Amino acid sequence: MDERVRVIMELQRRTKDGVLPSGSFVAVAKTMNCYRDTVSTLWHRYSNDPKISAIVSRIPATSGRCGMTRDVFDAKVAKVPITKRSTLRALSKASGIPTTTMHRAKRARWLRRGGSRLRPRLTETNKTARIDFWVGVKEAPIYVQQDNAKPHTLVNDAIVAAAGQSEDWNINIINQPPNSPDLNILDLGYFNAIQSLQYDKATSNLDQLVDAVEQSFLELDDIMLENSFLTLQKVMECILVDYGGNNYKVHHINKDKQRRECVLPSNHHIDGQVVDDALDAMYGRLTDQAELDELCELVAIL
C-alpha cells in the first residue's frame, strides 16, 4: 500500500465526528516517520478532494538525474577499439564517458578487467643475458634508490647487503632524501602530466613508446608547466622560512583564480626579510660549524 494512502487511513481512524483531535498530525508523523507538514498537506488536499488522485505524488516520473543506463554505457564502450581500453582514463577519453562514471561502472561490475596475469618463467639463457648486460659496469657501484615506505627493506639489512656484494657485484640500497621531490621540478607536475597523456596511447614496442612520449610532450598544456614552476618557487620560499628545514606545508596560491583575473605573476615574490633571516641562519650555522671544527682539532692535539 502506498505510504500516502496509509497516512490518510491513519488520520481517518483518529477522526471523531468528522474532526481530528489536536495533535493528530504530530502523532501520525511520528508513526509514519515523516514530517508533520507533510501529513498536514496530505490531509488538507484529501479534505478538498476525497479522491486518491488528489494525494498521489505530483513529481513527474521522468524528473531527476537518472544517470547513464547500462545499455547506453555498453554501446559506447563497444565502439572503442581494444587498444584504447588499457586504462579507465584512456577508455574515458576514447568513449567520451566521464571518468567518474567509469569508476561507478567499475564498482557496479559493468566493466571486467581482461588480460593474463601469468608471466613466462625466465630460462637460464634469459638469466645469463641479463647478467651479461651488466658485465661492463659490474665493478662500478650500483645504487638502488627506494622511498622511505615502511614495507621496504632497511639500507643496513645484513642479508640484502651481503647479496649485493656477492660475485664481485657492488649493489647498494639507499633511501630517498626526505621531501626531495618538492625541489624536483619534474616530479612537481611534468612527469605526472605527461605520463597521464602517454597512458592514453597504446604501444607495443620501444619505438612506439618513444613516439607516444614525444607526442604527449607536444600535447602537454603550457599552463601545467607554468603551475609547476610557480609551485617550485613557493616551495623554495617555504624552505627559506623554515631556515632550510623540511617542516613546512606548501600553501595554495590560487593560481587558477589569479589566472582568470589576469593577475597571476610570472614569478613568485619573496619578502626580502625572509631572505635576510635565512641568510643570517645559514651564516650562524657556518660559524657554529667552524667553531666546532676548531674545538675538535684542539681535542685531537691534547
Q: DSSP string spanning 84-107?
A: G-SSHHHHHHHH---HHHHHHHHH
Please check the confidence at residue 226 and state whether its pLDDT lies above 70.
yes
The full length of the chain comes to 302
pLDDT at residue 136, as a whole number: 61
Check the CA dihedral 12-17-19-21 and report its sign.
negative
Pairing of strands 142-146, 171-175: parallel
Spatial distance between the Cα atoms of 218 and 22, rounded to a whole number of angstroms: 75
Is the separation of the CB atoms in 172 and 141 below 8 Å?
A: yes
Spatial distance between the Cα atoms of 80 and 52, rounded to a whole number of angstroms: 50
Spatial distance between the Cα atoms of 133 and 128, rounded to a whole number of angstroms: 9
How do residues 94-129 score in pLDDT, each as one tens digit?
A: 899 999 999 999 999 898 877 666 666 778 887 777
Please check the confidence at residue 178 and state whether its pLDDT lies above 70.
no
Q: Quickly state the pLDDT bin for 301 (edges 50, 70, 90).
A: confident
Q: Which residues have a Cβ under 8 Å from the Cβ of 175 and sit 6 or more positions away?
A: 145, 146, 147, 148, 155
Q: How many CB atoms lie within 10 A of CB 198?
A: 17
pLDDT at residue 212, as a whole number: 80
Spatial distance between the Cα atoms of 110 and 45, rounded to a whole number of angstroms: 44
Q: Residue 195: exposed, middle, or buried by beta-carbon count in 10 A (0-12, 13-18, 19+)?
A: exposed
Q: Quickly state the pLDDT bin for 78 (edges 50, 70, 90).
A: very high
**DSSP-derived 3-state class of residue 16:** strand
Q: How many CB atoms lie within 10 A of CB 240?
A: 20
Q: Quickly state the pLDDT bin for 207 (edges 50, 70, 90).
A: confident
How do residues 237-254 score in pLDDT, each as one tens digit?
A: 888 888 887 778 888 888
Spatial distance between the Cα atoms of 183 and 185, rounded to a whole number of angstroms: 6
**Mean pLDDT computed over every residue of the chain:** 80
Identify the H or E element spanning 144.
Answer: strand 142-146
Enumerate the domain spans of the chain.
3-54, 70-108, 123-175, 180-270
Spatial distance between the Cα atoms of 28 and 23, rounded to a whole number of angstroms: 9
For 136: left if phi > 0, alpha if psi spans -120 to 50, otherwise beta; the answer is alpha
How do residues 266-276 score in pLDDT, each as one tens digit?
A: 888 888 898 89
Q: Quickly state the pLDDT bin for 79 (edges 50, 70, 90).
A: very high
Between 94 and 86, name the one with better pLDDT: 94
Spatial distance between the Cα atoms of 83 and 68, rounded to a whole number of angstroms: 24
Q: Quickly state the pLDDT bin for 68 (edges 50, 70, 90).
A: confident
How do residues 124-162 score in pLDDT, each as one tens digit?
A: 887 777 777 666 666 678 887 776 666 677 878 889 889
Amino acid identity for residue 158 in this structure:
A
Task: Tell me what the mean pLDDT of segment 212-240 comes to.
Answer: 84
